[in-house]
Amino acid sequence: MNEDDVFVIGTAGHVDHGKSSLVNLLSGIDPDRWQEEKDRGMTIDLGFAWFTLPSGNEVSVIDVPGHEKFVNHMLAGIGGIDLALMIIAADESIMPQTLEHFNILNLLGVSKSIIVITKIDLVDDEWLKLVEMEIKDYITGTNWEDSPIISLSNHSKAGLQELISTIDRSLNDIDAPKNIGFPKIYIDRSFSVKGFGTVITGTLINGSVRVGDDLEVMPQGIKTKIRGIQAHQTNHEKIDPGTRVALNLSGIEKNEISRGDLLVKPDVLSNTFVIDASFDLLEEYPNEIKHNLNVTFHVGSREFYAKLRLLEKNLPLPGNECFVQFKFENPQPVLKGDRYVIRTNMNTIGGGIVLDVDSKRHKRGDKNLIDKLKSLKSGSISQKIINLLDEHHIMTLNDLLKDLEIHSEELIPIIVTLKNESKLIQIGDSFENSDFISHEYWFKKITDIETHIILFHERFPLRRGIVAQNLKIDLMIEEKIFAHLIDFANQENIFSEVAGHISKSGFYPRLNSQQIDFVKMMKERMTLDPFNFEHIKEFDNEILNFLCLENILVKIDAEFLVTKEFFENTITIVSNYIKKNQSISVAEFRDLFNTSRKFALLILEYLDSTQITKRVEDVRVLR
């Protein structure tokens, strides 16, 4: 922990075990904001405070309600904390909401904790030792096994300094929250301040924000701008991740925002209806998990309805991880890597990690799918990059950073290693401006294109090659990847592209001996009788198109064909005639070539279209 690092700690525990009193003791701030909370002596919504540690670091505190009716509020506040203070009253020991909060914190990946036994002045030493033993028995074998246990009296303040020192030491072992440039804030409060407008609060995750930054409220897609930033009642121009913040937003009304909305950079996130996820079923949940179970889905400070679909053939077993799919009633701003909790009928069922978004409906028991999800869950960053490229085919550095939620300084060396291991193709000079494609996909597509072109040449040996757009459509290759593939193949002399046609390198259309004899015979016939509509009918389309493309024959119109030699001779005769007589009419052409008016008109119109002559009233002149 550096001197400027900011961390967020959260309370957890059963109702009336002294969570809010402890926050007040640590910070001097009463976290119970509502009169109803003060009247009932019970926290019913989230409370917030902060204090400074002996090391000089400031700590934000989120106080959550302990009553079972308000677990949804607890879930809205506890996500994104760095350290949990599990509060257990000495006179009651572990209670139902203690257990549920333990489970929720584990599901959300909060493994750093301090257990605080409060109200020790209400019990004798022997009872306190029994409570400590019960707690140690419960946490043995869990992520919390090594958590410090501090006994404390809110009244005499006995144990307070030990707790503060333990918090300081515990946070010193935690890495500062990563700043990977993609800030997000799950809103837990929104209100309006006279003279300032709309204000939201939440914990800043993943990136920094500054005054003037544009943001987007999801799922609504409303664009807004930061007018002001406060943290711990101090104004800031810029704030780093891991901080409890209040943002003054412009261009948006309070009634357009609610708890659970997500603030992100504009246009970096799309809502989704369906996700794939890992899932841990709690041992305490008494019922069997059914396919298509209706649940309440909690992510960040957001909650909404979803349908749970089982992806594996066997039913989930308590304490065992499996893989599931969730279909949401409405599109939701859920990201890969988000931790979630699901509940039904006031009971917490389990939770896990979002592995994929915008998922398709899967066939239950698909082994390949389960293997892919296992890799997404526990694979290395290298494997996750390959999985992402297998899914999306082409990605930029920013795409990868957003999906992996790591620093570019961490990602780039991994990309270099994957390139050196021939697992990844980089197209571009700099990492920031490059596209990345998996090596396997890249060369599979090169092979697919090569095979397709060879088959095309066999089927159409007189064509220069396949039209590039048709090739892209036939093989269903994305436009951007296709362009890169063709550039690469040209440079490597695998294919060649001429006038929008792609062929195998070294290929050139040629007539076979039988076709050569036929063309020779037809040219002789056409030379003897050039003005004849029957000639064109003797050619099949493939040979005709080839001969015209190679400039062996000239197609005057759909029904009239002449040899190249005849056409060039015609140009010479017409040009000389016009130079001598200033112009030529249809009748003059007819007489000059001893043909009909119809043939004369067809050839003169073709000469116009090829920019050799132009029509002026009823005659042609040279251009």
Q: What is the CATH number of the domain that holds 427?
A: 1.10.10.10
Whether residue 470 is found in the same domain as residue 523: no
Choosing from 329, 352, 373, the residue where a domain stops is 373
Of all residues in the chain, what percent carry a pLDDT higher than 90?
45
609 and 534 in one domain?
A: yes
- Looking at the structure, tell me whether residues 599 and 461 fall in a common domain: no
Query: Cα-Cα-Cα-Cα dihedral of 446, 449, 454, 458, to 10°?
Result: 170
Tens of pLDDT, residues 487-517? 888 888 888 888 889 999 888 888 989 998 9
| Token representation of residue 605 | 């119109």
Residue 323 pLDDT level (bands cut at 50, 70, 90): very high
Domain interval for residue 295: 272-373
Q: Which CATH number goes with the domain that contains 316? A: 2.40.30.10
Q: Which of 510, 545, 565 is the last residue of a domain?
A: 510
The DSSP annotation for 154-197 comes to: TTT-TTHHHHHHHHHHHHHTSPPPP--S--EEEEEEEEEETTTE
- Alpha-carbon Rg for the chain, nearest whole angstrom, is 38
CATH no. for residue 127? 3.40.50.300
Q: What's the pLDDT tens digit per position in 9-61? A: 888 888 777 778 888 888 888 755 433 333 433 333 467 788 889 988 888 88
**What total of structural domains would you count in the chain?**
5
Asked if 140 and 13 sit in the same domain, the reply is: yes
Q: Are residues 120 and 86 in the same domain?
A: yes
Report residue 145 as tokens: 């096994």
Distance CA 219, CA 263 (A): 9
475 burial (CB, 10 Å; 0-12 / 13-18 / 19+) is middle
Longest CA–CA span in the chain (Å) reads: 130
Q: Are residues 30 and 61 in the same domain?
A: yes
| pLDDT attached to residue 564 | 93
* Distance separating alpha carbons of residues 349 and 347, to the nearest angstrom: 6
Using the predicted structure, report yes or no on whether residue 534 has a pLDDT greater than 80.
Answer: yes
Reply yes or no on whether the pLDDT at 600 is more than 70: yes
Mean pLDDT score of the chain, rounded to an integer?
87
Q: Is 178 a member of any domain?
A: no
The pair of structure tokens assigned to 139 is 């946490």
Q: Contact, 355 vs 376, CB < 8 A?
A: yes
Q: How many other C-beta atoms are found inside a 10 Å radius of the C-beta of residue 372? A: 19
pLDDT at 326 over 90: yes
- pLDDT tens-digit readout, 164-218: 999 999 988 877 666 666 788 999 888 888 778 899 988 888 888 999 999 999 9
* 0.85 surpassed by pTM: no
Instruction: Evaluate whether residue 179 is within a structural domain.
Output: no
Read off the pLDDT of residues 66-94 as tens digits, 9 standing for 90 and up: 444 435 655 665 667 888 899 999 999 99
The pLDDT value given to residue 39: 40
Instruction: Tell me: do 505 and 520 sit in the same domain.
Output: no
- Among residues 43, 50, 93, the alpha carbon closest in space to that of 69 is found at 43
Q: Is residue 287 part of a domain?
A: yes
Residues 12 and 139 in one domain: yes
- Per-residue pLDDT for 64 more than 80? no
Per-residue pLDDT of 555-594, as tens digits, reads: 998 889 999 999 999 999 999 999 999 999 999 999 999 9
Q: How confident is the model at residue 348 (pLDDT cuts 50, 70, 90)?
A: confident
Whether 136 and 247 share a structural domain: no
